[in-house]
Amino acid sequence: MAKIADLIDTDYFMLTYGDGLGDVDVASQLKTLADSDLGGLVTGVHPTSRYGELGVGDDGIVTNFAEKPPSEGWVSGGFFAFRRSFLDLVPQDEPEHFFERGPAQTLAHQRRLGLFPHSGFWMGMDTFREYTALNEMWASGEAPWKIW
């Protein structure tokens, strides 16, 4: 990010990892940031588990069987909005720094990184299974992230 910092000449900018698809309202995310005192917002999602989840009682008896339920906690959906001042946290002399372990973590520790909750469609494309599923959605015309 340090290599492109001088090319960002706006008060706000957005970025994404590029390995997840969603129908995230990024315009609303940017407006939410602009209306706040925060330094940045990360889109939070509840991804669907890849596995069925079992509820088990103390007696070892299965009490619930949920096929691929959404996770309880938030995970990063990989869509970010930042104020330009965020770039001041990016090390200029470490071209291989990790965004998550450096500037994003610093912003979180400063309590200046907000959650932009997203309950719509989101799916990562980290495995061949996900790649196949997303391409099948696209081919069938049922791509929820295609909002244009």
Q: Place 56 in a pLDDT band, splitting at 50, 70 and 90.
A: confident
pTM of the entire predicted model: 0.81
Identify whether 17 is part of a domain. Answer: yes
Number of domains present in the structure of the chain: 1
- What is the predicted pLDDT for the residue at 100? 74
Highest mean pLDDT out of 81-85, 92-96, 144-148: 81-85
List pLDDT tens digits, range 114-126: 999 999 999 999 8
Q: Any idea which residue has 């917002």 for tokens?
A: 41
* Residue 26 domain-assigned (yes or no): yes
Compute CA distances 75 → 13, 49, 62, 71, 79, whole Å: 21, 12, 27, 9, 11
- Does 104 have pLDDT greater than 80? yes
Sign of torsion, CA 21 27 28 33? positive
Asked if residue 123 belongs to a domain, the reply is yes
Which range of residues forms the domain containing residue 55? Answer: 5-140
Q: What's residue 113's pLDDT?
A: 95
For tokens 């290599």, the residue is 3
- DSSP SS3 for 135: helix
> Is 148 within the bounds of a domain?
no
Domain assignment present for residue 124? The answer is yes
Across 37-66, b (16+ Cβ under 10 Å) vs e yields ebbbbbbbbbeeeeeeeeeeeeeeeeeeee
Note whether residue 89 is domain-resident: yes
Q: Kindly report the CATH number assigned to the domain that includes residue 44.
A: 3.90.550.10
pLDDT, greater one: 27 or 52:
27
